[in-house]
Amino acid sequence: MQRAFDPDLEACLKRISACRLCRDAPKGAPLPHEPRPVLRFSSSARLLVCGQAPGVRVHRSGLPFDDPSGERLRSWMGIDRETFYDVSRVAIVPMGFCFPGLDSNGSDLPPRPECRSLWHDELFALAPQIETILLLGSYAQAYHLRRLGHERVKGEGMTGLVSRWRDFSSRSPRLIPLPHPSWRNSGWLKRNPWFEAELVPQIRAAVRAALTPAP
């Protein structure tokens, strides 16, 4: 976890780093392994990447999106690893900070609910400088759309929400809902070529604007 410059934010990040709630006082079954919160945040980053939760590879390395999903995400964003991991410019905050474990089929479990209920509201209240948020997957989309007062269409799935990306561009911070860059969504990307043709250029433009130093 990286150091922040704002003392209140830094104190919050230190408490998150030391959090063991999902193991010691969980909502439901306890986390089956030692917690390792993984996030990157600073008081200067104007771009936020918000996903679901670390996978097993990220749990081992402590570096978010240090996997094939990260390669695809950085391609969508049009930036290299060095820029992506510059915490002064890019914040990375999943909905669950720790690897949640695997289900009986070997798939990642959903993000632990303890993180959202305990930490997220406090953390984002300390980050008014965020201008653009990339929302990867349904958990991040549900939380941030509700937090920022955006209405959802009843029964709307991922395709419908992502296709309405223009609806979330007029307010600050700007929200861009995206499918998760996991290989599991490769079929969705093939069935929806408009994503690469229409939305990826907009993602790259929004990322460039958020990374450009303020005058």
Residue 169 has pLDDT above 50, yes or no: yes
Task: Report pLDDT digits (tens) over 84-95.
Answer: 999 999 999 999
Q: Is residue 2 part of a domain?
A: no
Predicted pLDDT at 153: 87
Q: How far are the Cα atoms of 54, 62, 109, 159, 174 from residue 132, in angstroms, in the given order?
A: 21, 24, 27, 21, 5
User: At residue 51, does pLDDT exceed 70?
Assistant: yes
As given in the structure block, the two tokens for residue 6 are 């704002």
How many domains, the chain?
1
pLDDT of 4 strictly over 50: no
Residue 76 lies in a domain: yes
Convert the pLDDT of each residue in 75-85 to its tens digit. Answer: 999 999 999 99
Cα–Cα distance measured from residue 3 to residue 115, given in angstroms and rounded to the nearest whole number: 20
Whether the predicted pLDDT of 8 surpasses 90: yes
Domain hosting residue 18, numbered range: 7-211
pTM: 0.93
Q: What is the H or E stretch that residue 144 is in?
A: helix 138-147
Residue 1 lies in a domain: no
CATH of the domain at 155: 3.40.470.10
pLDDT confidence tier of residue 168, bands split at 50, 70 and 90: very high
- Span of 2-11, 14-23, 44-53, 166-175 with lowest mean pLDDT: 2-11
Residue 151 in any domain: the answer is: yes
pLDDT of residue 204: 98
